[in-house]
Structure 1
Amino acid sequence: MWNKVEQYIKEHQLLNKQQRYIVGLSGGADSVALLVLLHKLGYQVEAAHCNFKLRGKESERDEEYCKKLCHQLALPIHIVHFDTAVYAELHKVSIEMAARKLRYRYFEQLRKDIHASGICIAHHRDDSIETILMNIVRGTGLKGLMGIRPRNGYILRPLLCCTRNEIEAYVQDVGIEYVTDSSNMVDDVKRNKVRLNVVPQLKTLNPSFDEAMMKMVNHVEEAEKIIHQSIYTALQTMVCVEGDMPLWLETLKQGRGSVTLPNFTLRIDKLTAYVSPEYLLYYVLSPYGFNATQTELIAQSLTGQTGKSWVSDHFEVVIDRTQLLVAKRETVQQKAMKIPETGKYIYSEALSIRITEEQVDEGFEIPKALHTIALDKQKVAFPLLLRPIKQGDRFTPFGMRGSKLVSDFLTDQKVDALTKRKQLVLVDAMDTILWVVGRRMSDKARIGSATKAVYRLVVE
């Protein structure tokens, strides 16, 4: 098993002996085998144990065992306690889901704190088969038929090549004890029902059921390669990504959900011409946290109303005329800022505005840059207000006589729907829009032949 795991790690490029890794340690045979194996293979590992406070004395026993094991191996261990039942009740999720969310959230925070390169989890081949069966029961696509993957972002699974029996035999051979979670032996949750009831029944139909499932996984993986290639080729002509396109495509392949994923735009005409727009959408949006139901609705709405949107935990999809916009959700509401007189005012970390008074003389030049304007002093009434645009906002663009909706002006300027939401305007005491900031000043305060003094406004 030693050589088998080492070869699997190399084959999937999971670990590097020059880097540090966290190993999720429950005290069971699987996680104990993973910790011992990686340690003996020369990898830099630190254990992390979660006490979910669900099994009374048994939970305390597991924690003490993990401490003792790490002391014997001279390895660091990080321990956290959770009131899982309270969390489940508060968030209206099952105990199983609550424990999972708490565990992975803690592991990720710990990874950042100790600058680890990955989080090693002791999933094995039997776990993957059980996951496939559960996915089939729920209804799944091709990815669900491939079971648990060796890598999902920072989550690494070096034992997927091994069976439960092989792992238990290894732990016995090296003479290391482990603890048994009694809750795993009760068929009160879906996974336990699959493990204890469904799999044994399937093995009565085919004693080589495990091997048959792995053959299916291999076939699906080969089919996925063809699909990947088709989608990658198509995406080259329909997507514009903020950042590295090859890196983004690799991230999609891994299926990772992360707030660090880049924003991108997708051409609707190219998407609708693809052989399966819905599948392509699910492929690119599922790593962003969008589920199959949402991607189906998005696919049905591609030629619909501009501005229609859908949200996941961290991202938003918006239909914007000829393109689909996918961007990180804004967590901070834009504010309004009062400007009582000339001076410098800081609106946000990214934007400040400076207002100065100048006399119009022979050397005066009207500014031409988009971030600078000059307004006739006699036509400006303080206090000013810098605020986001509102529905129904109108102004008279420089050079025009009649008024125009700011939203229509931005549309004419080919400003996308998400950027529109962030657009600021500067209004005076009479609620007259003087400037669509960074784009066009109003004709109402333009400099004329009688202008003797101006206010110069610069956004920085």
Structure 2
Amino acid sequence: MLDELGYRCEAAHCNFHLRGDESDRDETFVRELCAAHCIPLHVTHFDTEGEAARRKVSIEMAARDLRYAWFEQLRQERGMDWVAVAHHRDDSVETFLLNLVRGAGINGLKGIQPCHGYVVRPLLGVSRHDILDYLNYLQQPYVTDSTNLQDAFLRNKIRLQVLPLLAELNPAAAAHIAETAGRLAEAAAVYNDALEAARRRVMPDPFHIELVALQREAVPETLLFECLHPLGFRSAQVHEVWRSMVTPTGQSGRRFVSAQWELLRDRTALLLRPVTEGKAADGCALQLGDGARPNPGVRPSSGAWAGPDPEIPFPVVSGAPVEVLLPEGKLTLQLVERTADFVIPRDKQVACLDADRLPLPLTVRRWQAGDKFVPFGMKGRKNVSDYLTDRKFSLFAKERQRVVCAGPEIAWLVGERSDNRFRLTGQTRHVLLIRYEAKEDCMK
């Protein structure tokens, strides 16, 4: 049709190798059809099952991502304006009902949109029945994906069982659902403007939802859904998050997890972080020079801060700063001689330690249950867990907290407090300066 209307068209076919001989049959059919109409054809082959296993996603999701990435690559390489796909009205109706069954807000009930980026759907206003009638009129053969006739998947059950039943109740049911989805799409544009304004009121940044601000909104649970659903949280999960906020038994510390995000119900806010952040590498061992303590008046020997984690290198030239790369930021370490004009930085992100009293090796790791240190200015030991609780750290912030250890002892609670045993004294000759820089500001 597009060719007859005068558009310059090229066809693209993906063989996902999911249906054995039938996949090859489809490819052969497309090749013959394009050859008969003199349409340039591009064909690619995917190991879809392997891609799904590698990414730990469904085969359907893997196939979708593979084809649309290839379509866009092909569009750019061939200098084309659009990627036209064959979704029709019944596909949009199925999507509407699928999202309705799963639980969705207004944005999930818009059906399939006619245009998304460079992807257009010129058949979206036409039913499957009308398309088949047109093919019969042209006497054009076609092939059918046999898996579309199996009700093993929810979408297929809607297509094969629900839509025929609705048609018995009202022959125009599919058309009416499509019209409703269209009106909801228009209403969603107004809704989304108001939603964005409300989102800014309750989310000072993408990782926090302030509880008091949320509860001041007219429809707080709906707003909560719209904040969390795009992050992969299901409607049932959002309801449980809401219950944890409003029920007398709701307690801080409860966690909820989607495929990509983790949510923590904290005292005054809902905290969000990517799932990968919670699984970040714990830490690494560092060694100063060749392991020998620097002698008074002698520069440290040549060597490196060496660590077992190959993803975090620690190159150093003797006497130069060393950068220790961490998933959430970096530490910069420098050994300096203490002179008369040396000034101790008044910055929590900088530790000044007596290098001559530090047991080696130095290590950087997450704090662990049972860790103790002597906070600067104090004499007695204190549990790190108690210190963090006193500082009102959230569970996420506690889990992120790192320590720099000197031998078996904690020398610095990174970004917080150094250990009093390694403070500078009148006898200090060499100072180890450690500076922490975060990748981004993460509120506790």
Question: Could you tell me the TM-score, scaled by structure 2's length?
Answer: 0.73
Q: For residues 282-339 of structure 1, what are the alpha-carbon distances to aligned partners after superposition, in whole Å with 9 as ceiling and x for unaligned? A: 2121211111122112112237444432222221112232121222222532223132
* Residue pairs, 1:144-155, within 5 angstroms: 144-150=108-114
Unaligned runs of 5+ in 1: 1-32, 242-262
1:80 aligns to 2:57 (yes or no): no
2:96 pairs, out of 127, 132, 136, with 132
Q: CA deviation at 1:177?
A: 4.8
1:374 pairs, out of 345, 352, 355, with 352
State whether residues 70 and 77 of structure 1, in contact with CA within 8 Å, keep that contact through their aligned partners in structure 2: no
Q: CA deviation at 1:361?
A: 3.4
Q: For residues 359-403 of structure 1, what are the alpha-carbon distances to aligned partners after superposition, in whole Å with 9 as ceiling and x for unaligned? A: x33222223344433222453222222111123433233233444
Q: For residues 380-437 of structure 1, what are the alpha-carbon distances to aligned partners after superposition, in whole Å with 9 as ceiling and x for unaligned? A: 22222211112343323323344444345445656554343222211122x2221122
- Residue 309 of structure 1 corresponds to 255
1:333 pairs, out of 267, 281, 288, with 281
2: CA distance, partners of 1:403 / 1:38:
83
2: CA distance, partners of 1:201 / 1:87:
37
Shifted more, 203-212 versus 139-148: the winner is 139-148
Flag the 1:438–1:48 CA change in 2: closer, same or farther, 3 A. farther
1:101 aligns to 2:50 (yes or no): no
1:63 aligns to 2:27 (yes or no): yes
* Residue pairs, 1:152-231, within 5 angstroms: 157-168=121-132, 177-185=141-149, 190-221=154-185, 224-225=188-189, 227-231=191-195
State whether residues 260 and 274 of structure 2, in contact with CA within 8 Å, keep that contact through their aligned partners in structure 1: yes
1: CA distance, partners of 2:391 / 2:121:
50
User: In structure 2, what residue type is equivalent to 1:394?
Assistant: K
- Higher normalized helix content (fraction of residues): 1
State whether residues 318 and 326 of structure 1, in contact with CA within 8 Å, keep that contact through their aligned partners in structure 2: yes
State whether residues 267 and 323 of structure 1, in contact with CA within 8 Å, keep that contact through their aligned partners in structure 2: yes
Flag the 1:197–1:175 CA change in 2: closer, same or farther, 3 A. same
State whether residues 339 and 386 of structure 1, in contact with CA within 8 Å, keep that contact through their aligned partners in structure 2: no
User: In structure 1, what residue type is equivalent to 2:341?
Assistant: G
- Residue 214 of structure 2 corresponds to 271
- Residue 339 of structure 2 corresponds to 361
Flag the 1:456–1:227 CA change in 2: closer, same or farther, 3 A. closer
Flag the 1:187–1:354 CA change in 2: closer, same or farther, 3 A. closer
Q: CA deviation at 1:212?
A: 2.4
2: CA distance, partners of 1:450 / 1:134:
73
2: CA distance, partners of 1:215 / 1:222:
11
* Residue pairs, 1:223-242, within 5 angstroms: 224-225=188-189, 227-241=191-205
1: CA distance, partners of 2:174 / 2:32:
35
Flag the 1:185–1:446 CA change in 2: closer, same or farther, 3 A. closer
1:322 pairs, out of 248, 254, 268, with 268
Q: CA deviation at 1:239?
A: 0.9
Q: CA deviation at 1:352?
A: 4.5
SS at match of 1:302: helix
Q: For residues 227-254 of structure 1, what are the alpha-carbon distances to aligned partners after superposition, in whole Å with 9 as ceiling and x for unaligned? A: 434433322211123xxxxxxxxxxxxx
Please report the RMSD computed on the Cα atoms of aligned residues, expressed in angstroms. Answer: 3.9
2: CA distance, partners of 1:158 / 1:389:
57
2: CA distance, partners of 1:436 / 1:112:
48
2: CA distance, partners of 1:149 / 1:111:
18
1:397 pairs, out of 371, 375, 378, with 375
1: CA distance, partners of 2:116 / 2:381:
53
Q: Would you say how many aligned residue pairs link Structure 1 and Structure 2?
A: 395
Q: CA deviation at 1:62?
A: 0.5
Shifted more, 432-441 versus 331-340: the winner is 331-340
- Residue 308 of structure 2 corresponds to none
Q: For residues 81-111 of structure 1, what are the alpha-carbon distances to aligned partners after superposition, in whole Å with 9 as ceiling and x for unaligned? A: 4576x999x89x9xxx954223113225535
SS at match of 1:455: strand
SS at match of 1:240: coil
Flag the 1:199–1:366 CA change in 2: closer, same or farther, 3 A. closer
User: In structure 2, what residue type is equivalent to 1:293?
Assistant: A
2: CA distance, partners of 1:415 / 1:140:
34
* Residue pairs, 1:115-130, within 5 angstroms: 121-130=85-94
SS at match of 1:213: helix
Q: CA deviation at 1:39?
A: 9.4
State whether residues 50 and 103 of structure 1, in contact with CA within 8 Å, keep that contact through their aligned partners in structure 2: no
1: CA distance, partners of 2:165 / 2:429:
92
User: In structure 1, what residue type is equivalent to 2:365?
Assistant: R
1: CA distance, partners of 2:161 / 2:366:
59
1:451 aligns to 2:428 (yes or no): yes
Unaligned runs of 5+ in 2: 292-299, 306-313, 315-323, 438-444
Q: CA deviation at 1:269?
A: 0.9
SS at match of 1:100: helix
1: CA distance, partners of 2:339 / 2:98:
79
State whether residues 261 and 275 of structure 2, in contact with CA within 8 Å, keep that contact through their aligned partners in structure 1: yes
